[in-house]
Amino acid sequence: MDIQKLAKDLLLKYELYEFPVKIVELANKLGFVVLQQNIQDSGFILVDENDPFLIPGKPDKVSKVIVVNNTDSPLRKRFTVAHEIGHYLLYCADKNNNRGLFAHRENNAHYDPNEKIVNDIASEILMPYEILDSYLNHLIPKLDIVSDELLILKIAQDFNVSESAAAVRLDKYYRGK
């Protein structure tokens, strides 16, 4: 799977190929309602095209919902929404699989290879390789001191992601992924 192409095509299709990516707007354009609830996990996705469900406060039934933990930081919520979109792209979109429930616990994410793929998709959606490449090529010549720590801080700030997400993305950028 070409994750860079997948993310770029998706963002271009919905005219969101810029930073910071408007992740909730992307979810909405994919047909999702994004809710914040007090849950144990960071988030989960519900997709059921065959039997839509009622959401309190929504007048119509919906078939796609992303739920994020309302106690998480805004940056964590952004990544969670992107992560759940990754589940949708990997398991549901264009695969005749219109019914599914995908959830995960963060402490198991690094052991499940599918969670790693979904995290890679989320990272690519929030910090697309080509945009990051252009950003760094313009930023680095302007800096007096170039360090990974400074680059991580700038990426986190400008792409509206956590420092840990920026650090992982920068590492993958250096490896050409």
Q: What is the mean pLDDT of residues 28-42?
A: 92
| Per-residue pLDDT tens digits for 81-107 | 999 999 999 877 655 555 555 554 454
> Over 70: is that where the pLDDT of 172 sits?
yes
Q: CA 156, CA 103: separation in Å to the nearest integer?
A: 26
Please give the structure tokens belonging to residue 143.
């800096």
Contacts of residues 143-147 at CB distance under 8 Å and 24 or more positions apart, as own/partner, are none
> Over 90: is that where the pLDDT of 12 sits?
yes
| pLDDT for position 177 | 55
> Over 70: is that where the pLDDT of 158 sits?
yes
Confidence of residue 113 (pLDDT cuts 50, 70, 90): confident
> Over 60: is that where the pLDDT of 108 sits?
no
**Three-state SS annotation for the chain:** CCHHHHHHHHHHHCCCCCCCCCHHHHHHHCCCEEEEECCCCCEEEEEECCCCECCCCCCCCECEEEEEECCCCHHHHHHHHHHHHHHHHHHCCCCCCCEEEEECCHHHCCCCHHHHHHHHHHHHHHCCHHHHHHHHHHHHHHCCCCCHHHHHHHHHHHHCCCHHHHHHHHHHHHCCC
| pLDDT for position 30 | 94
* Residue 66: CB atoms within 10 Å: 28
Q: What is the mean pLDDT of residues 30-52?
A: 86
For residue 102, report the phi and psi dihedrals to the nearest 5 degrees.
-125, 125
Mean of all residue pLDDT scores within the chain: 86
Q: Are 34 and 81 in contact (CB under 8 A)?
A: yes
Distance from chain centroid for Cα 60: 26
pTM recorded for the entire structure: 0.88
Q: What is the mean pLDDT of residues 124-133?
A: 96
Q: Which residues lie across from 33 on neighbouring strands?
A: 65
Q: Are 45 and 88 in contact (CB under 8 A)?
A: yes
| pLDDT for position 167 | 96
